[in-house]
Chain A
Amino acid sequence: MLYLSEIQRSKVVDMAGTEIGRLTDVAVVPKEQFPAVQWAIVSSKDGERIVRWADLERNDSQYRLRESAVPPAPGELPPEALRLGRDLLDKQIVDTHGAKVVRVNDLQLDDKGGQLRLVGADVGLRGLLRRVGGEGAAEKMAGVIGRKLPRGIIPWHLVEPLEATQQNVRLTLPHAKLALLHPADIADIVEEMTTDERRAVFDQLDVETAADTLEEIEPEMQAAIVGDLDEERAADILEEMDPDEAVDLLQDLPEQKRDELVELMEEEEGSDVEELLAYPEDSAGGIMTTDFLAFARDLTAGQAIERLRELKPDPALVYYLYVVDSEGRLEGNVSLRDLVVAAPETPLTTIMNTNVFKVDAATNKEDVASLIAKYDLLALPVVDARRRLIGSVTVDDVVDLMLPRGWKKRSGRSSAR
């Protein structure tokens, strides 16, 4: 195995053996799984010149131009090229396996039959020591106490580079690998990025993933991200979010920006959000969702199931089905199990549970959380002064309130496997 730091600064000589410069960098086009090195950048006091990698042959510790070589010339690499030294070394990348952002200490290359390929990113202590010239010494010292220095190599196909700098323009790379991660993991990664990178990620993710990811991001940063996005795009993402999450986010934006975004949202989602915006942030009204299922009291079990088939609700919604009267007042709730086992013609009123816990929109959210915890509820309906059902607080809305600070972040992917 070869490392970039080991070939950087190698001498490059021409056919006659005279030095034409030093190898300072190599470049790949990051398309294949393990991309081949295609160019070498040779620097001398005349500046940088580009040599095709195939035109070089290794000769001990130096590189020699082949006879057939195109003479090295100053020039530009194609825009899709990635220079390993300039664009990757010391930069942050995403380790898509561990779902975290790490810093590149060195790059691992594999030389097979003159074809040099980029195979991994060294993010471990060894890479760091190699760069400062202390790998050998550290290895001996570790050997004395009977330990081996750990390797920290991430195979290249699991690496997602964050960005590459092209002169003064920042070239954004496609984030295909990132998009395959769980939104909660993407969120952790996005929090470590720069504002430009963040915007690039949110521009590229599909709207649904973007919405799920945004919900998982720290509240302070959510507003900053939405503020940076194109407004149409931001409105699309907000529509996909749970209304209560979208509201929390909008709450942190300046009033003018918030109104613009709500205006741009589709009628239905926009008005849901507007309703919720009226409640204080730390009340039941502030954390509830307006996404819930309520059946009119005169339906039968069969009709209710038929209605469910038509609506095809989100899986999370079907666990708490409410029954309301013609005024929208909460009469009771009915479990999916009871609905299914009841004979189709049974009226909902006979199978529903009328002894339902409910709270007022102004109830403190901490109290809501303790009610849900105490009575093992999955959801708690929220009613207005006339007992009309206006929303529902689900257990996932309050679970963050119950966990000590920082707990959510703590569980890395490692503990979930």
Chain B
Amino acid sequence: MTAAPPSRRPRRLPLRRFQLPAMLLVLGPGLVSGFADNDAAGITTYSLAGAQYGYGFMWALLLTMVALLFTQEVGARLGLATGEGLSGVIRERFGVRWTALAVLVTLVANLGTTIAEFAGIAASLELLFRVPPQISSILAGMFVVIVLARGSFGKVQYAFLVIGAAVSAAYAISAILAEPDWGHATIALVKPELSPTAAYLITLVGVVGTTITPWGQAFIQSYVADKGLGPRDLAGARVDVTLGSLVTNIVAGFIVVACAATIWTHGGQIIDAADAARALGPLAGGGATIIFSVGLLAASLLGLGVVPLSSAYFACEAFGWERGLHWRWSQAPVFYGLLAFFVAGGALFVVIPGLPLIQVMFLSAVLDGLLLPIILTFVMLLAGDRKVLGDLVSGRVLLAIGWTTTVLVSVMSVAFVIVQVFGLGS
């Protein structure tokens, strides 16, 4: 079509455009979800576990790491094979009623997590600048609304990720400087130090629930699906979720060890965020509080940018309602309504005077743990379904591990409920 003028060959610019290797196209969701997993509830729960029981939960961290790896891998498979989010696939496979259950469970768990993120922000700002929770939670709510409305979360999240990574490193260094009993810690990885109390059980539910989360399961699947990745990207996705799971639990392990070596050995306990910050003392001394607060703040904000949004997507995808921030309010009323409900609900909850912030964050992890079996059951039923996954259907070994995890988590949750209801072991 060009009326070619003579000699139109362009001068070759020496610079070849910046290339991402194909692998990096896939890398990401697992890592993001791995870091976001150590959110407000995560940091708090691991700290409490280390401070109260020393190395008593190291075995659980090792097991949940394996479990997390497999559940995330299944999530990635589902996303690659179907191109849909978890709730969409549940709807297609199990119909409206089961979907309603899955959505309800997820929304309840996620509302708890959202409250925990607000509590994390409140706790860190209180430590840093003595801002009362009533003010900081409202400010945080407004901040999230502005960031999401401007569509800039995509950029902002990297800052949070970097801070998250830095604080994770701080925990690792602090754990090493505290000169913990490494032998003890290593043996505890494979030799469970159980204690038959209700308090131990509730912490166990929290540790599991903050590592393998309902929202994390939905997040990995949607992320993979929205990138338009397909079955041929399975290898890359696997590398990614493996890295993500490793990062999540290695960081968790350092938090536990740091807390065990600094707080547990001295018979201390964590009542508020300032106590939890002491775990960073060996590295930062008097600056521990600042590092801890900044890390908690970044982790909470990262979680806050992901969880409410992921919840609204989850519900709207299940029922076929318009979803996404590109719509106007009037075009996607349910989506924005849910988003508003989560942000306002979370912020207002933290306004309650005298709220024990650390306990709120911990209990949200427990709530996640209690509801996890329901979501995991859906995921595992889908994982073995050739009609849904086609050639990506999970093999026997994977299914066996997945179902074992689901059964163990269910037993744990049922045991917890029985203990709570009948008041055993306390």
Enumerate chain A interface residues (CB-CB to B < 8 A): 89-92, 100, 102-105, 123, 128, 131-132, 165, 168, 170, 191, 193-198, 218, 220-221, 223-225, 227-228, 251-252, 254-255, 275, 277-281, 285-286, 290-296, 307, 311, 313-314, 317, 324, 326-328, 361-362, 384-385, 388-391, 404-407, 409-410, 412
Contact = CB atoms under 8 A, between A and B. Distances in A.
Contacts of B1: 291, 293, 311, 313-314, 317
A413 B229 CA distance: 28
B7 interface: yes
Contacts of B17: 251, 277, 279-281, 286
A105 B230 contact: no
A389 B8 contact: yes
A102 B320 contact: yes
Nearest to A100: B322
Given A105-B96, A220-B228, A228-B230, A294 B2 contact: yes
A195 B230 contact: yes
B406 interface: no
B420 interface: no
B3 A384 contact: no
Interface string B1-29: 11111111111110111110110010000
A391 B8 CA distance: 9
A91 B92 contact: yes
A197 B3 contact: no
A316 to B, nearest CB: 11
B7 A388 contact: yes
19 contacts: A89-B95, A92-B84, A103-B91, A195-B229, A197-B83, A220-B227, A224-B230, A225-B228, A228-B232, A252-B25, A280-B15, A285-B10, A294-B5, A313-B1, A385-B11, A404-B151, A409-B324, A410-B326, A412-B331
Nearest to B11: A384
Contact of B9 (A196, A275, A405, A410): A275
B328 interface: yes
Interface in B86-102: 88, 91-92, 95-97, 99-100
A84 B228 CA distance: 28
Given A128-B96, A165-B387, A389 B5 contact: yes
B11 A294 contact: no
Chain A CB within 10 Å, residue with most, of B228, B231, B390: B228
Interface string B309-340: 00000000001101011111001000000000
Contacts of B130: none
B82 interface: yes
Contacts of A409: 324, 326
Interface of B: 1-13, 15-19, 21-22, 25, 80-84, 88, 91-92, 95-97, 99-100, 151, 227-232, 319-320, 322, 324-328, 331, 386-387, 390
Nearest to B322: A100
A410 B83 contact: no
Given A165-B387, A195-B83, A103 B320 contact: yes
B180 to A, nearest CB: 44
Given A123-B320, A128-B319, A168-B387, 17 more contacts: A103-B88, A132-B97, A170-B390, A195-B228, A197-B83, A198-B83, A228-B232, A252-B25, A278-B10, A278-B12, A278-B16, A280-B13, A280-B15, A294-B5, A326-B6, A328-B5, A406-B325
Contact of A131 (B9, B12, B13, B96): B96
Nearest to A125: B319
A162 to B, nearest CB: 11
Nearest to B318: A103
A275 B320 contact: no
A16 B227 CA distance: 58
Chain B CB within 10 Å, residue with most, of A100, A362, A391, A405: A405
B275 to A, nearest CB: 43
B386 A168 contact: yes
B2 A291 contact: yes
Contact of B10 (A100, A105, A361): A361
Nearest to A193: B83
Contacts of A328: 5-8
B6 A327 contact: yes
B332 to A, nearest CB: 10
Contacts of A313: 1
Contact of B5 (A89, A223, A296, A385): A296
Nearest to B90: A90
A326 B4 CA distance: 11
Contacts of B325: 406
A168 B13 contact: no
B230 A293 contact: no
Given A220-B228, A280-B17, A295-B3, A194 B100 contact: no
A254 B96 contact: no
Contacts of A100: 322
Chain A CB within 10 Å, residue with most, of B3, B8, B387: B3
A390 B8 contact: yes
Nearest to B16: A278
A286 B100 CA distance: 48
A279 B16 CA distance: 7
Nearest 10 CB-CB pairings of A with B: A103-B320, A194-B83, A221-B228, A195-B230, A406-B326, A224-B228, A328-B5, A409-B326, A254-B22, A131-B96
B227 A224 contact: yes
A307 B3 contact: yes
Nearest to B19: A255
B387 A293 contact: no
A311 B3 contact: yes
A328 B387 CA distance: 60
A292 B13 contact: no
A295 B4 CA distance: 8
A106 to B, nearest CB: 9
A227 B232 CA distance: 10
A290 B228 contact: no
Contacts of A251: 17
Nearest to A222: B228
B230 to A, nearest CB: 4
Chain B CB within 10 Å, residue with most, of A102, A165, A194: A194
Contacts of B7: 327-328, 388
B221 to A, nearest CB: 12
